[in-house]
Amino acid sequence: MSRRRSLRVAAVVASAALLGITGCARFDSAQSQPFTTKPQMAPGPTSTPPPPAPLPAQPFPKACPAQGVMQGCLESTSGLIMLPDSQSALVAERVTGAVKQVATRAEPFVKMTIPVDGSGDGGLMDIVQSPTYQQDRLTYAYISTPTDNRVVRIADGDVPKPILTGIPKGATGNTGSLVFTSPTTLMVQTGDAGDPALAADPGSMAGKLLRIEQPTTVNQAPTTTALSGLGSGGGMCIDPSDESLYVTDRTPTADRLQRITKDSKVSTVWSWPDRPGVAGCAALDGTVLVNLVNTKQTVAVRMAPDTGAVTGEPEVVRKDQHGHAWALQVAPDGNIWGATVNKTSGDAEKLDDVVFPLFPQGGGFPRANDEKT
């Protein structure tokens, strides 16, 4: 690491240290149960008519520019995709189903609008681009319809095509997330539909981490279950240094951060009995950042490189700035961006919904404790 980068990192971590650390957090040996048998899953409803085509790209007024963010006047967000220039992104709006392209130096526009049922905590819950997007132009979304939750595939300018349907839907517990672990493997985190019994039922797709191979297959793509017993979904992220997959979820007794190693070992990294509302995460070199919606924080959970054990309590790296944040993504230049959910978290009158940089002055991802000096 160069002396200049070391100084930047030190400044970031020092400022984070002034904010203190989260309370009411503890280690916990409890974890979801992995299983490898393929559950017997019934196909989704066949009576639901096909959704209309997404609306074409269109400009929308940049009526609320806000200093230091990509765009103001967004509706409450969900999924976030950072684009190659690190200064623009695709951001999903959960209730409206709109996917907007926003940037620091360009007018925003609506890339597409996906028909969704935004009631309760459902709607457009996450978006992710194919790892081979430059060739296939495919975007995947996790959505709610009036009858179920499902995964759909959208080619640019085309109608959404169902990939996996029939995921149970409830008044709550619908939130989930998507991540590609390889060019041909899509992981789907599903919520428990407000019923922990469904999460424990191997015949239900609720409260599971599902693995879809070859997700270009339309209509009930073959799935296996990588993890069961999940609560309402938070988010997923991959640490590229060792390919570990991290999953956040909210159970009736605690919020959790779980880790699945490349060889499928599952452990609970941290749990929060005070349930601060875990959401999106971002991981790099053994440090995992997690958004806590209810407390308006982003925290860093650090692990020892050899053992994978947590080295201390989560360290706050963002407090109150821009309010309640859900999504969290690493940009190609190393900075981290978040997207807020203020309009569905009780602060709509006081706080705008924006896409914002976690470290406005640069500095990139906060490194492990042994790299602070």
Q: Is the pLDDT of residue 299 over 90?
A: yes
Per the DSSP assignment, residues forming a β-bridge with 128 are 140
Predicted confidence at residue 5, as pLDDT, reads: 43
Predicted confidence at residue 368, as pLDDT, reads: 55
Predicted confidence at residue 262, as pLDDT, reads: 92
Q: Which of 153, 155, 111, 92 is nearest to 329 (CA)?
A: 92
304-327 pLDDT per residue, tens: 887 778 999 999 999 999 999 999
Q: What gap in Å lies between CA 343 and CA 340, rounded to an integer?
A: 8
CB atoms within 10 A of CB 47: 5
Q: Is the pLDDT of residue 59 over 80?
A: no
19-57 pLDDT per residue, tens: 443 444 444 445 665 543 343 444 444 444 455 455 444
The pLDDT confidence band at residue 64, using thresholds 50, 70 and 90, is: low
Predicted confidence at residue 20, as pLDDT, reads: 42
Instruction: Extract the tokens encoding 115.
Output: 């028909």
Q: Which of 195, 142, 179, 165 is nearest to 48 (CA)?
A: 165
Q: Taking a C-beta distance cutoff of 8 angstroms, is the pair 119, 129 a contact?
A: no
Predicted confidence at residue 110, as pLDDT, reads: 92
Predicted confidence at residue 30, as pLDDT, reads: 52
202-252 pLDDT per residue, tens: 999 999 999 999 888 787 667 899 999 999 999 999 999 999 999 999 999
CB atoms within 10 A of CB 364: 18
- 106-123 mean pLDDT: 92
Higher-scoring residue by pLDDT: 136, 32: 136
- 80-103 mean pLDDT: 95
SS3 percent helix, strand, coil of the chain, rounded to 5, is: 10, 40, 50
In one letter, which amino acid is 161?
Answer: K
Tell me the average pLDDT of the chain.
Answer: 84
Q: Is the pLDDT of residue 357 over 80?
A: yes
CB atoms within 10 A of CB 43: 10
Share of the chain above pLDDT 70, in %: 79
State the pTM of this model.
0.83
The pLDDT confidence band at residue 260, using thresholds 50, 70 and 90, is: very high
